[in-house]
Structure 1
Amino acid sequence: MSGTVVKVSGPLVVATGLADANMSDVVRVGPQRLIGEILNMKGDSASIQVYEETSGLGPGAVVETTGAPMSVELGPGIISGIYDGIQRPLQKIVEKVGNNISRGVEVAAIDHDKKWDFTATAKVGDVVSAGDILGTVPETEVVTHKVMVPPKVSGTITKIESGSFTVEEPIVTLKTADGKEITLPMMQKWPVRVGRPYQHKYPPTKPLSSGQRIIDTMFPIAKGGTAAVPGPFGSGKTVVQHQLAKWSDVDIVVYIGCGERGNEMTDVLREFPELQDPRTGESLMKRTVLIANTSDMPVAAREASVYTGITIAEYFRDMGYDVAVIADSTSRWAEALREMSGRLEEMPGEEGYPAYLASRLAQFYERAGSVACLGAEGRRGSLTAVGAVSPPGGDLSEPVSQATMRIVKVFWALDASLAYKRHFPAINWLSSYSLYLESLKPWFDENLGEEFLKERTRAMGILQNESSLNEIVQLVGKDALSPNDQLTLEVARMIREDFLQQNAFVDVDSYSDYKRQQLMLGMILRYDDLSRDAISKGASAQSLFAVEAREKIGRAKGVEQEDYPTEYPAIVAEMEAQIAAIIEKEGEQA
């Protein structure tokens, strides 16, 4: 079915003669067959969001509808892929048309000609339904692709065999309940704006270990949880997200560069293939999917990119994997929504954003979760969503930040003043929060002991006390404080500089496991305990500040991974001896 263009307004095209088309149908526009999607219908007139540059397109051009919504191809060959916002493979496009994407170029999202080694795990006579695993494909050295029965399909297997197949060739024949025979290939298609089904959603109970001390210890996120990383320009949002992508203990990472600068995406594309995955020793790209939609690409495709990324993530979640979706940044995505809304002449909401901004953000984040997957095997998978927010001028009262804060349960607030002091990650410990602490407590208590969260709470208390004391110091000076208050300031500085500060570009400090974090914080709090006891026995604060072991605590983050279990207790023992000597010397004098 075809219609005719009557109006072109940037990426928005209005066409008539499409009375039989449906909302969300994908269409091809004009002689170059530009790809677009129907946003709304009025009679036989359709407003179309075109995902490519529309210059040169005018009234009278033909519009053809495909009759299907915007969908992604799901099957072997996705991992290690680099796609644009509508799942066009950028590497294949470069091979076909060169470095600049030609308008209207048509390339299959996953290679339809490559043969994959399929090993059947189901057998003839098995009754299978949606989500059941038919067999496996070794997609990369670290990811085994599980070929599943698509949603809404069930029947008895009449034919299945192992061998080499393309993603379009039938691998299994099913006899349905009504007696029909259907064949299934390895590839599925799924509309991006519809969440993939699952059996049951569980409350998140396991933390996502990122190796970043301020995140894991102070503001942890659960597997299947949601988090936002808001911060002004230059505060380190992208580096925090890169660290999460590199070090998080998930099986698959889907990284969505949504409207970000091209050079940042270039860094990701160059860095990830060279990085060694700490879990497997292989290249990080062998468990990563990249969606690259840079700021110079068409705005409409930016709006689609987050849906493309999270649908791919849901597919791997359905296999029983832990998946992380990292969107950088949802503010650019919201700007694309605002532009399209303006062209549609919709009533603007706050700051020109559409009135449905909050509900669209919620639709994205609510697709995260820890779920029981479809299928008889009882698989569990998780999808964790982390979105960067780039508020203009760092103003967290703007609509995107406020709407995001109402939805997500972890808020890592980046602070420009910390970044200017070269304190990274520049997450402000006073304005950040995690609402998962209660649900993660059983896991922490079982795996790290009940002291871990108590020490975390105590460290947070010291940092908050420091903030109050700093106001007094500005009025009367540090020397006017009592020895105990001076010690509070000193211990807070140790927590900030020796524990929370972390260098992403130093290998030994880039990642800290939970045990190391626990021992590091324990050393600092042990110094606090010993020093308070010493002050009560007559020792001077200045003598305690000059203890030699403190310098070793400051350098503890540089201790090699294999050495810290013996070195850290040795530092504590040395510190205890030195403070005991001070008590003996100064306590007698007092």
Structure 2
Amino acid sequence: MSQATDTDATVADTGVIRSVSGPVVTATDLDARMNDVVYVGEEGLMGEVIEIEGDVTTIQVYEETSGVGPGEPVDNTGEPLTVDLGPGMLDTIYDGVQRPLDVLEEKMNSAFLDRGVDAPGIDLEEEWEFTPEVEEGDQVESGDVVGVVPETVTIDHKVMVPPDEEGGVVSETKEGTFTVEEPVVVLEDGTEITMHQEWPVRDKRPTVEKETPTTPLVSGQRILDGLFPLAKGGTAAIPGPFGSGKTVTQQSLAKFADADIVVYIGCGERGNEMTEVIEDFPELEDPKSGNDLMARTCLIANTSNMPVAARESCVYTGITIAEHYRDMGYDVALMADSTSRWAEAMREISSRLEEMPGEEGYPAYLAARLSQFYERAGYFQNVNGTEGSISVIGAVSPPGGDFSEPVTQNTLRIVKTFWALDSDLAERRHFPAINWNDSYSLYRDQLDDWFRDNVAEDWPDKRQWAVDTLDEEDELQEIVQLVGKDALPEDQRLTLEVARFLREAYLQQNALHDVDRYCPPEKTYDILGLIKTFNDEAFDALDAGVPVEEITSVDAAPKINRVATTPDDEYEAFVAEIEENLVEQLRALY
């Protein structure tokens, strides 16, 4: 304050650029608050205030700043970075600050976007069919649902009283076709409720309570559902080196996970990977409804060649959209691919701000930012009485596959499920290349009751047997590398054969196979149960004096590997047949 008085500096809604350093711009004489959105330079490039010191305001710009120079104007909007919420977000592809890419392409008449071009996050001219769910005289509170709009063939968009409105008594409701900005419900105090809301991306939307999740997010991936399950409302990390399958695993989860809404954030990933997502998703069929998968999906594409500052904001854009659908009572799965690129964007901006660096040059607040993001996941009691969840699955790309680097380590302190991808497994063509010895889930105990009630009473017991067998195999492999397999006792050699079936028939899964790409929990349980039957009968035969070679050469054993690719309406009979043949053939040996 005294500095401004001494220099007689004046501040206004329009300032002047003082310096430009990549995406970081400083301006003087600008009346601004932290996180205000500003428009920089003659072209009006979007930016956000990230630091204020005296009359110098520091801005991170969400677009390329080449050609911008000192003396150009900076205009302040006086509002923080917000997203447009309303019908039309699904089946849409946005950039990192919620500009619809198809609309921008149409404006530019080119796939290459000019700087300074802008468009609202939802179409303000499109009309939607609104059906009210309240009547005149009803009392509505903040967050209450006042009507429904069929947003896609799959999802009904529920129009709510904005969280920052107190509510009141309904004096008028409308039914019919309206744009998102036309009032559809009017309260006695004159408050007009429209289908369109805005919300600051860095602020949580309010809820009543965050509850302990007790329902799994069924993924259709045997190693995940069977050994390392994720709860609806849970958090998971998928770290792994280049080429180990992070993106494919996340895409499989986006396609098949048991969620109502999918928000997929491509945060700084390679352009060819995002192109594949953008091309593939509109053609995919939703296994839940048979409709297009995009009818319940929102894509945010911010590739590695896009401006670095927009990468920092795209995860907030995605989580805010997810919270809006959660408030409607939906279960949302959010994929962030990858949080390492987000952290690298923070590191670059932090270095340009000349902040004191932390470990490996990342800003000292890296852990806090990661926590703020992941803590917005959860299973919630919403203010309107519904329940909804956001499950966050974040990919991490540690350089050289080094899990000791700061982003991976700080993520592990926050998330409760860890799916560790292994380049050695990927090189051996074992997919998904999730290392079962390094991975874990802290949700297993609280999800066991669901699996007992909905799949099988002994689900936890069989899972523990599989984990123990794989652990024993890991120990035995170290001995095998020293002395060879033939030097082991027969019971340990048989354990290795059982573990091989676990790896090949249970843990491996073909994401490109029409049947094997999705495995329902019942089938996951039956495959494991079949391997357990083989284990029990084989060890009985071994105890009776039958050599391991004879036990493993029975005709029925190799058929275990074929169950995963057997159609879901035929596998039960096939499993029963193999089980019967296994028992018969193994018992015939003694």
TM-score range, shorter chain: over 0.9
Among candidates 426, 437, 445, match of residue 430 of structure 1: 437
The equivalent of 2:313 in structure 1 is 304
Identity %: 56
CA distance in 2, matches of 1:181, 1:242: 46
* Structure 2 residue 297 is matched with structure 1 residue 288: yes
Among candidates 212, 223, 229, match of residue 220 of structure 1: 229
Q: Per-residue deviation at 1:184?
A: 1.6
- Deviations, residues 473-498 of structure 1 (Å, cap 9, x unaligned): 12222112111111100000110011
- Deviations, residues 124-147 of structure 1 (Å, cap 9, x unaligned): 111101111000000000000000
* Aligned residue identity for 1:172: V
Among candidates 325, 328, 340, match of residue 349 of structure 2: 340
Relative to the length of structure 2, the TM-score reads 0.97
Among candidates 121, 134, 140, match of residue 146 of structure 2: 134
The equivalent of 2:137 in structure 1 is 125
CA distance in 2, matches of 1:365, 1:150: 24
- Deviations, residues 546-567 of structure 1 (Å, cap 9, x unaligned): 0111111111112111101211
CA distance in 2, matches of 1:85, 1:530: 56
* Aligned residue identity for 1:4: V
Mark the runs of 5 or more structure 1 residues left unpaired by the alignment: 584-590
CA distance in 1, matches of 2:411, 2:484: 40
SS in structure 2 at match of 1:135: strand
CA distance in 2, matches of 1:170, 1:16: 40
Among candidates 61, 75, 83, match of residue 64 of structure 1: 75
Among candidates 127, 140, 165, match of residue 178 of structure 2: 165
The equivalent of 2:51 in structure 1 is 40
* Aligned residue identity for 2:173: I
Among candidates 556, 560, 580, match of residue 573 of structure 1: 580
* Aligned residue identity for 2:510: N
* Structure 2 residue 39 is matched with structure 1 residue 28: yes
* Structure 2 residue 557 is matched with structure 1 residue 550: yes
- Deviations, residues 345-368 of structure 1 (Å, cap 9, x unaligned): 100000000000000000000000
The equivalent of 1:192 in structure 2 is 201
The equivalent of 2:6 in structure 1 is none
CA distance in 1, matches of 2:217, 2:302: 27
CA distance in 1, matches of 2:351, 2:203: 24
After TM superposition, list the pairs within 5 Å mapping 1:123-272 onto structure 2.
Answer: 123-153=135-165, 154-175=167-188, 180-272=189-281
Among candidates 454, 462, 468, match of residue 475 of structure 2: 468
* Structure 2 residue 113 is matched with structure 1 residue 113: no
CA distance in 2, matches of 1:396, 1:476: 31
Moved over 3 A (4+): none
SS in structure 1 at match of 2:515: helix
* Aligned residue identity for 2:497: E
CA distance in 2, matches of 1:107, 1:383: 27
* Aligned residue identity for 1:162: E
- Deviations, residues 17-53 of structure 1 (Å, cap 9, x unaligned): 11x3110000011110100000011122110000001
* Structure 2 residue 17 is matched with structure 1 residue 8: no
The equivalent of 1:586 in structure 2 is none
After TM superposition, list the pairs within 5 Å mapping 1:368-383 onto structure 2.
Answer: 368-375=377-384, 378-383=385-390
CA distance in 1, matches of 2:527, 2:415: 29
Name which of structure 1's ranges 150-159 and 299-308 shifts more when overlaid on structure 2: 150-159
SS in structure 1 at match of 2:588: helix
Q: Per-residue deviation at 1:441?
A: 1.4
The equivalent of 2:451 in structure 1 is 444
- Deviations, residues 247-303 of structure 1 (Å, cap 9, x unaligned): 001000000000001110010011111111000001100000000000000000000
CA distance in 2, matches of 1:114, 1:270: 25
Q: Per-residue deviation at 1:450?
A: 2.8
Q: Per-residue deviation at 1:444?
A: 1.4
* Structure 2 residue 340 is matched with structure 1 residue 327: no
* Aligned residue identity for 1:228: A
* Aligned residue identity for 1:324: A
Name which of structure 1's ranges 99-108 and 213-222 shifts more when overlaid on structure 2: 99-108
Name which of structure 1's ranges 464-473 and 188-197 shifts more when overlaid on structure 2: 464-473
* Aligned residue identity for 1:107: A
Q: Per-residue deviation at 1:449?
A: 2.6
CA distance in 2, matches of 1:11, 1:286: 35
The equivalent of 1:51 in structure 2 is 62
* Aligned residue identity for 1:133: V
* Aligned residue identity for 1:131: G
SS in structure 2 at match of 1:85: coil
CA distance in 1, matches of 2:479, 2:404: 29
* Aligned residue identity for 2:38: V
- Deviations, residues 396-428 of structure 1 (Å, cap 9, x unaligned): 000000000000000000000000000000000
Relative to the length of structure 1, the TM-score reads 0.97
Q: Per-residue deviation at 1:152?
A: 2.8
Among candidates 393, 415, 424, match of residue 386 of structure 1: 393
Among candidates 512, 531, 546, match of residue 538 of structure 2: 531
CA distance in 1, matches of 2:217, 2:120: 34
CA distance in 1, matches of 2:515, 2:14: 61
CA distance in 2, matches of 1:478, 1:345: 58
CA distance in 2, matches of 1:475, 1:348: 45
The equivalent of 2:284 in structure 1 is 275
Aligned residue pair count? 576
